[in-house]
Amino acid sequence: MTHSRLMKASALAAASASLVACSVIPVAPEGLPEDWIPSVSPSPIDPDLLDSPLGFDPEQESAVRIRNSKCDELSSGSGFILDDHTIVTNRHVVEGFLDLEVNTSDGRDITVASAAVSQVSDIATITTVESLSPFAPLADEDPGLGDFVTIVGFPLGEEMTTTMGSVLQRSDDNLDNADHVFISSAEVEHGSSGSAAYDEQGEVFGVVYAGQDDSNYAIFIPISIVKESLANLDPLAAIKTCTY
Amino acid sequence: MTTLPPPPEGQDPFRPPPSFLPEPPAPPPPLPETGPTAAVPLPPKPATEATPTVSTPLSPRTGSVYRRTIANEETTVLTPVTAATNILDRIPLSERKRWRLLAGGSALLAVLLLGFSIYLLFINDQWQTRSSALTSEAYDLGSRLADANAQIVEKQATLDLVSEQLNTAQARILELVDEKAQAGDDISYAQQQLSLYQELSALGGSVSLALNHCVNEHEKLVGYLKNPEAWDPGDLAAYEASVNTLCNAAQSANATLQKALTE
């Protein structure tokens, strides 16, 4: 190799080395940022909490207690708010009433204007004078086996309770109050009649109307029959006088 | 990998070919005699005896060195080099060029290194400034983070307390709602009982009135029967039957009242 070639090779090597070296030569630091903390926006509050001034679940706030004063006895049942002035419950909760009284879950007394019952199933409605809220949304479909179920009501006419379970089976109605019913593992008591059975989305997919004698498992009318019943209601008049 | 061709026969493979060696200098004049003996010219060495090697000091007496240089493949001439010769003169020109370039390059490199060192000092100073600023900022952020953590702990404790209070309040609300409902039930039941008692009271009054009528009519009947000749027998019998009907009704009402009272 001649000297000139050696020199060219050396120059080339030096140039390459310079290029490589420039990439690792430290440079001056950039200026510091003025603000080290990124701005964050707060997460939106759960709308369910905003709708509930007392911090109850919507399912709890929709539950009502119904007192039926009859000639010879006093009974109580449960129900839920369907719309501004309508409460859904069982027919047997309102039948034979001299006087009906409704208490909301937060303790307000609601004046009853009228009642109506279905001849299709054990379903009835109560129309109120005062405006009601919040409404319990109705599901589009009947429950399926294994579905999660939540029942909110006033068992034994006492404190409001929430029981949970799953849908166990579809059954014929032994009491002939509906074409077919569903049995769930959520437990109920006397006084739970008329309670809403909620699915996981918080929609009503059934109305409790009885409990199994041995297990207290809730038996409820599926929403399809409830809707059919609500479309065919007959007025129910109060009893005027009692005969002893 | 390429394979080098084998060296020619009889050539040292580690020795460069003759063309890479500098041209041999002209043969020096014969060395003068140093002793009393007459100079005897050295017999010419056969070229075949020449053995190419590197320079070797041969005569410490004169300070000269003999370089045995390969002139060609056949002959080797020993060339004396005097100590007075400048060392640069003994370096070939190309070698000197190379040294100059090396020196120049070294100087340039030294200048570049000096400049680079100054640059590095400047950069180092800037990075140290930044490091100090970052350390200060880190302490500030750490302090703010500690404050924020303390606030979070405090807020969490407050939130826990408020949640507990909310649960208590909700439970109390449910209790109060239930108590109110039970009170409503009691009132309704009391109203029912009141209505029942009012009904019973009214029934008792009716029964009492019916029984009084019964007693009165019965006394009248007894009076009529004390003097039966004064009355038409048919009318007397009819009156007696109506009194019995009245008293039976009164007794029946009384039985109903007694039954209602015992329930």
Half-sphere exposure of A107 (CA within 13 A, CB side): 14
| Residue A32 in contact with partner chain B when CB distance is under 8 A | yes
At B257, which amino acid appears? Answer: L
From A68-72, A199-203, B47-51, B70-74, the region with the lowest mean pLDDT: B47-51
What is the distance between the alpha carbons of residues A151 and A193, in angstroms, rounded to a whole number? 10
What is the distance between the alpha carbons of residues A224 and A227, in angstroms, rounded to a whole number? 5
What is the distance between the alpha carbons of residues A215 and A158, in angstroms, rounded to a whole number? 20
Distances from the Cα of B150 to the Cα of B26, B163, B251, angstroms: 97, 19, 87
User: Residue A235 forms beta bridges with which residues?
Assistant: A116
pTM: 0.65
Q: Which site among A35, A36, A239, A241 would you substitute to test the B interface, given the most B Cβ atoms closer than 10 Å to its Cβ?
A: A36
- Span A148-227: which CATH code? 2.40.10.10
What is the distance between the alpha carbons of residues B70 and B67, in angstroms, rounded to a whole number? 9
Q: Tell me: the pLDDT tens digits for B60-113?
A: 444 444 444 444 555 555 555 555 556 666 777 788 888 889 999 999 999 999
At B101, which amino acid appears? Answer: L
A69·B191 Cβ contact <8 A:
yes
Q: Tell me: the pLDDT tens digits for B30-60?
A: 444 444 444 444 444 444 444 444 444 444 4
Helix axes A3-24, B93-226, angle to 10 degrees: 20
Nearest CA in chain A to B132: A32
What is the distance between the alpha carbons of residues A182 and A146, in angstroms, rounded to a whole number? 11
Structure tokens at B218: 């019965």
Tokens 């590197």 appear where? B54
Q: Name every chain B residue with its beta carbon within 8 A of the beta carbon of A107.
A: 173, 176-177, 180
**Average of pLDDT values for A215-226?**
94
- Interface A–B counts its CB contacts (< 8 A) at 82
**Average of pLDDT values for A65-70?**
94
DSSP-H helix ranges across chain B: 87-90, 93-226, 233-262
Distances from the Cα of A83 to the Cα of A90, A106, B167, angstroms: 17, 17, 28
A107·B137 Cβ contact <8 A:
no
Domain boundaries along the sequence of chain A: 55-135+230-236, 148-227
From A111's Cα to the closest Cα of chain B, the distance in A is: 13
- Asked if the ipTM is above 0.85, the reply is no
Average pLDDT, rounded, for chain B? 76
| Residue A42 in contact with partner chain B when CB distance is under 8 A | no
Pick B188's closest partner by Cβ from A56, A74, A154.
Answer: A74
At B57, which amino acid appears? Answer: P
Pick A244's closest partner by Cβ from B116, B127, B199.
Answer: B199
One of 3.40.50.720, 2.30.40.10, 2.40.10.10, 2.60.40.1220 is the CATH number of A55-135+230-236, namely 2.40.10.10
Q: In what order do the strands lie in the sheet with B76-81?
A: B56-59, B64-70, B76-81
| Residue A28 in contact with partner chain B when CB distance is under 8 A | yes
Q: For residue B218, with 0-12 CB atoms within 10 Å meaning exposed, 13-18 middle and 19 or more buried, which class applies? A: middle
Largest CA distance in chain A: 136
Q: What is the pLDDT of residue B165?
A: 93
3-state secondary structure of B168: helix
| Residue A91 in contact with partner chain B when CB distance is under 8 A | no
List the one residue out of A157, A183, A161 whose CA is nearest residue A170: A183
